[in-house]
Every structure is written in structure tokens, then in C-alpha cells.
Amino acid sequence: MKLEDIYTFFRQPPPIYLSKEVAVCYVLYTLVEKGDSYGTALIQAIENEYPFYRLSDTVLYSALKFLEDEGIIDGYWKKVEGRGRPRRMYHIVSEKVPQARELSELWLRYLQEHPRNPD
């Protein structure tokens, strides 16, 4: 390590990996705002829309399983255009939409409380 590495770290900090709790709120926010999605698309979306945050496969699929077990989301198989095999799509269970919206607001609050600035 060199002193310049320390300056670089603070000028360009590494991305923050989301915890399961935050991932649950991010997933719900995305499903509420954009509709049904599959796991890989959720990971790509966070990298594209929120470049200072990352979501690992392990945390994502743990969050999805939690939401399914809680009955907030449901999954189904669908052939996605441009993809070889069917994908497991997730959507919010209709009677759970109000709760999903409430939890998705926590994602927006998290972004406000943990801002990342590229400067």
C-alpha cells in the first residue's frame, strides 16, 4: 500500500454491499415502481441506477426467499426475450401491495441517510 492508495480510497470509495434488510426494501421498491422482475435484472438495476451500491447473489436470493416465505411476493416462470431459458419472475401479491409500498419507502430513506457522492 502507498499513501496515494489512501487518498484514492477516499476520493473513490468502494461500493457498499447491501444487507439483507436493505435488500428486502430495495427489491420491493423495484417491484412496486417497475413491475415484475427476476434476480439477475435486480442486481443489474442496482448497479446501473445506484452505482455506489451492490447486491450480492447470496443476499438477493435470501431476501427473495424471505419475501416469498412472508407471502409478500410470489414467483412464476417466464421466458424472457433475449434469454435462453425461462427466468423466475417475482411480483408483489396484490393484497400485500400497501405493505410493500410502506417497506419500499425505507429504501428511499436509506438512500437519503447514506448518500454517496462521486466527488
Please report the pLDDT score of residue 117 as a whole number. 58
Torsions phi, psi of 38, nearest 5? Answer: -120, 165
Per-residue model confidence (pLDDT) at position 109: 96
| Residue 89 placed within a domain | yes
Q: Return the CATH number at 25.
A: 1.10.10.10
Q: 71: domain range?
A: 16-114
Residue 109 corresponds to which cell in the numbers above?
430513506
- Confirm whether 95 is domain-assigned: yes
Query: Domain for residue 11, yes or no?
Result: no
Q: How many structural domains compose the chain?
A: 1
Residue 80 resides in a domain: yes
Residue 7 lies in a domain: no
**Residue bearing the bigger pLDDT, 65 or 116:** 65
> For the segment 56-91, what is each residue's pLDDT rounded down to a tens digit?
999 999 999 999 999 999 999 998 777 688 999 999
Q: What is the C-alpha to C-alpha distance for residues 24 and 3, in angstroms, rounded to an integer?
A: 38
Q: What is the pLDDT of residues 13-35, one digit of tens each?
A: 889 999 999 999 999 999 999 99
Q: Which of 7-11, 74-78, 94-98, 100-104 has the lowest mean pLDDT?
A: 7-11
* Residue 6 within a domain: no
